[in-house]
């Protein structure tokens, strides 16, 4: 039976370092522990929050419920087929460490997603992505507990209905608790180097035909140069999604603002660089109280020391209002606000 802790500070369990207390916290280190926790009479009817690395949440208040701290570990290389190599890990695996491990197993394909904070179990919820790759492109299935039936289920890529920073798990919040993830990595690996930062970093290193480890190292270098370490400056990584607009709207935006940064999508839409929009509104390096916009990357909001969740939310709303007023574009936050 897992141990139930009462009145627990969550400051160390969220990467923003925001103060909040949970009525209960229980650590889930196995499927059996999850089943036992759900059966605890003390927790009946209480709101539930599953936390992995706490890298995609803004805590604005105390949580009068139970936090399931996901700590199921384990990595496994599964059998290959003609098209792919399969790897599986527990939901509590640290994402970056898992990516590194796949390369040691001669299973390239995740290197563009290096150094993204969080856990393996949280990755499908957000459909994490960076530098030209989304998790959905490497996804096979998840094993999860369906809290409506109490049964463990296997959910395929099609069922998970991935979109840009979106998935079934965001559309039906709280229903599924992910305990393990299986990824499908290509047998015929090809480098993904289309993003300017990646190609420039490789070029500066004199690398013309990079292998997966070299791309991994380049992405780590880029992220460390551009983004703050949550252990040193509280943050949740990219705070806003890049807004997606249709071709006509993007053309109108470019007509008014010729330097607008955007990326054409396969379906004909355009993804506008949210960081550029925020930067153009003068927010980079600015702050409201103890909440600030990072000086090197305007897409990242930071806790300058002593900020509360309400401070982060107030800053986010001010940034949204500025971008909406100047560009007529709505920014949507990535983190869950609680």
Examine the domain organization and report whether 63 and 79 are in the same domain: no
Give the total number of structural domains in the chain: 3
Examine the domain organization and report whether 42 and 28 are in the same domain: yes
Which residues, including other chains, have CB under 8 Å from residue 187's CB and lie 6 or more apart? Answer: 80, 82, 83, 84, 85
pLDDT of residue 63: 96
Examine the domain organization and report whether 60 and 92 are in the same domain: no
In a domain, 204, yes or no: no
**Strand pairing partners for 292?**
287, 302
Q: Which of 157, 186, 215 is the last residue of a domain?
A: 186
Task: For 265-321, write each residue's pLDDT tens digit.
Answer: 888 999 999 999 999 999 999 999 999 999 999 999 999 999 999 999 999 999 999
Q: Which of 70, 100, 125 is the last residue of a domain?
A: 70
pLDDT of residue 182: 98
Measured in whole angstroms, the distance separating CA 120 from the mean position of its chain's CA atoms is 10
Q: For the residues 220-248, what does the mean pLDDT come to?
A: 92
pLDDT of residue 3: 87
* C-alpha to C-alpha distance for 94 and 72, rounded to whole angstroms: 10
In a domain, 223, yes or no: no
pTM for the structure as a whole: 0.91
**Local confidence band at 144 (pLDDT 50, 70, 90 cut-offs):** very high
pLDDT of residue 231: 86
In a domain, 299, yes or no: yes
Residue 1 pLDDT > 80:
no
In a domain, 197, yes or no: no
**Residues annotated catalytic, as ranges:** 165, 238, 334
Examine the domain organization and report whether 47 and 139 are in the same domain: no
Examine the domain organization and report whether 23 and 114 are in the same domain: no
In a domain, 219, yes or no: no
Residue 97 pLDDT > 90:
yes
Question: Across all residues in the chain, what is the average pLDDT?
Answer: 95
| Paired tokens of 156 | 């395929």
- Identify the domain containing residue 63 by its residue range: 4-70
Examine the domain organization and report whether 243 and 313 are in the same domain: yes
Examine the domain organization and report whether 65 and 148 are in the same domain: no
Examine the domain organization and report whether 273 and 329 are in the same domain: yes
In a domain, 224, yes or no: no
pLDDT of residue 259: 94
Q: Which residue has the tokens 């299986």?
A: 182
pLDDT of residue 263: 87
Examine the domain organization and report whether 169 and 269 are in the same domain: no
| Paired tokens of 48 | 């539930």
Q: Which of 49, 70, 91 is the last residue of a domain?
A: 70
Examine the domain organization and report whether 275 and 293 are in the same domain: yes
To which H or E segment does residue 58 belong? strand 57-58
Nearest CA among 230, 244, 222 for reference residue 253: 244
Examine the domain organization and report whether 97 and 53 are in the same domain: no
In a domain, 199, yes or no: no
Measured in whole angstroms, the distance separating CA 291 from the mean position of its chain's CA atoms is 20
* C-alpha to C-alpha distance for 139 and 156, rounded to whole angstroms: 8
């Amino acid at each position: 039976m897992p141990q139930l802790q009462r009145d627990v500070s969550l400051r160390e369990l969220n990467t923003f370092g925001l103060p909040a207390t949970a009525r209960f916290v229980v650590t889930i280190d196995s499927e059996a522990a999850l089943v036992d926790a759900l059966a605890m009479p003390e927790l009946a009817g209480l709101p539930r929050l599953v936390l992995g690395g706490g890298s995609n949440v803004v805590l604005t208040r105390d949580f009068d419920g139970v936090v399931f701290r996901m700590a199921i570990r384990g990595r496994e290389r599964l059998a290959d087929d003609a098209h792919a190599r399969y790897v599986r890990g527990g939901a509590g695996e640290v994402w970056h460490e898992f990516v590194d491990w796949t390369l040691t197993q001669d299973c390239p394909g995740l290197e563009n997603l290096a150094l993204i904070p969080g856990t393996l179990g949280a990755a499908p919820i957000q459909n994490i992505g960076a530098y030209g790759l989304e998790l959905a492109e490497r996804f096979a299935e998840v094993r999860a507990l369906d809290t409506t039936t109490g049964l463990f289920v296997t959910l395929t890529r099609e069922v998970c209905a991935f979109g840009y920073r979106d998935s079934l798990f965001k559309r039906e919040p709280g229903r599924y608790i992910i305990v393990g993830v299986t990824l499908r990595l290509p047998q015929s690996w090809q480098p993904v180097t289309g993003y300017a930062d990646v190609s420039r970093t490789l070029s500066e290193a004199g690398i013309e035909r990079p292998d997966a480890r070299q791309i991994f190292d380049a992405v780590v270098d880029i992220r460390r140069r551009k983004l703050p370490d949550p252990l040193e400056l509280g943050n949740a990584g990219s705070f806003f999604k890049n807004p997606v607009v249709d071709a006509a709207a993007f053309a109108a935006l470019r007509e008014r603002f010729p330097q607008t940064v955007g990326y054409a999508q396969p379906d004909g839409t355009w993804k506008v660089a949210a960081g550029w929009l925020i930067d153009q509104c003068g927010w980079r390096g600015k702050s409201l109280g103890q909440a600030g916009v990072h000086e090197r990357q305007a897409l990242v909001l930071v806790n300058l020391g002593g900020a509360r969740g309400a401070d982060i939310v107030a800053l986010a709303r001010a940034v949204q209002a500025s971008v909406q007023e100047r560009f007529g574009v709505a920014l949507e936050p990535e983190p869950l606000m609680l």
